Amino acid sequence: MRRPVDKIVRTKARLHLLDWIGCAAGARRTDVARIVAALPGAGVADRAVWLGNVLEMDDVHRTAILHPGPVIWPTLLGKSGGTLDQALDAGVRGYEAMIGIGAMFDGRHYAFWHNTATAGAFGAAAAAACHGGADDAQLVSALGLAGSVTGGLWQMRHEPVMAKQWHLAHAMATGKAAARHAMAGITGPRFVLEGPQGLFAATCDAPRPLRLVDGWRIDEVSFKPWGACRHAHPAIDAALDLKAQGKLTGDVTVSTYRDALVFCDRPDPATVMEAKFSLQHAVAIVAERGVPQLADFEPDAIAALAEARARVRVVESPVFTDAYPVHFGASVASAQGQVTLADARGDPERPLPESGVVGKARALMDWGGVDGAQAEAMIAAVLEGDSLADIRRIMEEWL
């Protein structure tokens, strides 16, 4: 956490910051954005934090099964003082804490708890404390305070609500408050994870050990090219490859890991969010339309693709389940052929180039109605600038 962040890692952090900004900008015209725009007394970070995961295109860490960007970057966006490089360094450390702790949660935890929320408060606390110059004792207390009240249940998956966005706002607010109070002298529990009444005891059956790495965990984080739940991405990629061979026709079978079915076995989605969490709909898009666009998850497309969805069957593959969550894999098969992928596009094994991340951000900003000149100004401010204030000023104009 305390070692220097080198220029290569900082450059990677700029891409993740841009990716989050694109996701937030793309959600500008959603119901969530309209509601939070009217929140009394909310600053730009307090509004932006609600938008990063609305379109389901936020960055993701596979073994921790969480999305760091939508928590870490708005936490730092609201900070005053310092350079962009200093904010980027704090962001890298926030990713480190959020991923390191999230990767210790087990399957029992993920069955009920939203990892982005439970680990997110730790990440926000670490980012805010490091940006504020906390010493080691203050950092430990910030993490302990955040962990003592963290949470976020998956029940919101079963109802058409905005609680998933609230989880991000709560994680950010909790982490920032924990850092502020720790730096003022409030102490927090050091053993909030492994203590007899700590987070592991309450939410896990067999927590994994902390894995220390030589580099930074931000290098393990994937970018999401498609506007659907990450569990659907391997099937989308395999379907795209099969379609490129001219063999994605007729009845189709998707074989993938168990959690992909738990979250995304939804043959008859009725809403945009349900369509984003539907393996059947994702593969139907590819079969009928090709490369998925955000418009393909809207109500008109949901209705138009009903017949194509009915031709898609999904099953669990023990091979993919055994490899998960280190690898998110899937196989898509038709009578004409089959494509099997161990990893999805945007994973470290199949990385998006910088041009792909920038292109995604441009497309999201356009989807959100951002003026082209403003979009280019933001891209330049993030990738070439050294002023967090410039980024905050542009986002103020958007939100």
pLDDT in tens, 198-224: 999 999 999 999 988 889 999 999 999
- Give the pLDDT mean for 31-52: 94
Residue 162 is assigned to a structural domain of this protein: yes
Instruction: List phi, psi (to 5°) of 252.
Output: -130, 140
Please give the sequence-ordered ranges of beta strands (E in DSSP) within the chain, or none if there are none: 252-256, 312-316, 330-333, 338-341
Query: pLDDT for 62-97, tens place per residue?
Result: 999 999 999 999 999 988 778 999 999 999 999 999
Domain of 106, CATH number, reads: 1.10.4100.10
Give the count of domains, the chain: 2
Does residue 347 sit within a domain?
no
Using pLDDT thresholds of 50, 70 and 90, give the confidence band for residue 291.
very high
- Is the pTM here over 0.85, yes or no? yes
Is the per-residue pLDDT at 272 higher than 90?
yes
Alpha-carbon distance 171 to 151, whole Å?
A: 8
Domain that holds residue 285: 230-341
Using the structure block, give the residue that is written with the tokens 């994870």.
193
CATH classification at residue 253: 3.30.1330.120
What is the mean predicted confidence (pLDDT) over 359-376?
96
What pLDDT sits at residue 278?
98
**Would residue 377 count as lying in a domain?**
yes
Residue 346 lies in a domain: no
Q: Is 71 exposed, middle or buried (0-12, 13-18, 19+ CB in 10 A)?
A: buried
What's the rounded mean pLDDT across residues 290-301? 96
pLDDT in tens, 306-352: 999 999 999 999 999 999 999 999 999 999 999 999 999 999 999 99
What local confidence, expressed as pLDDT, does residue 1 receive?
80
Residue in 350, 373, 351 with CA at minimum distance from that of residue 362: 373
pLDDT in tens, 152-171: 999 998 999 999 999 999 99
Give the chain's largest Cα–Cα span: 66
Judge if 16 and 109 occupy the same domain. yes
The residue from 319, 341, 363 where one domain ends is: 341
Q: Do residues 245 and 156 share a domain?
A: no
Residue 2 has pLDDT above 90, yes or no: no
One domain for residues 220 and 236: no
| 77 within a domain of the structure (yes/no) | yes
Statement to judge: residues 323 and 301 lie in one domain:
yes
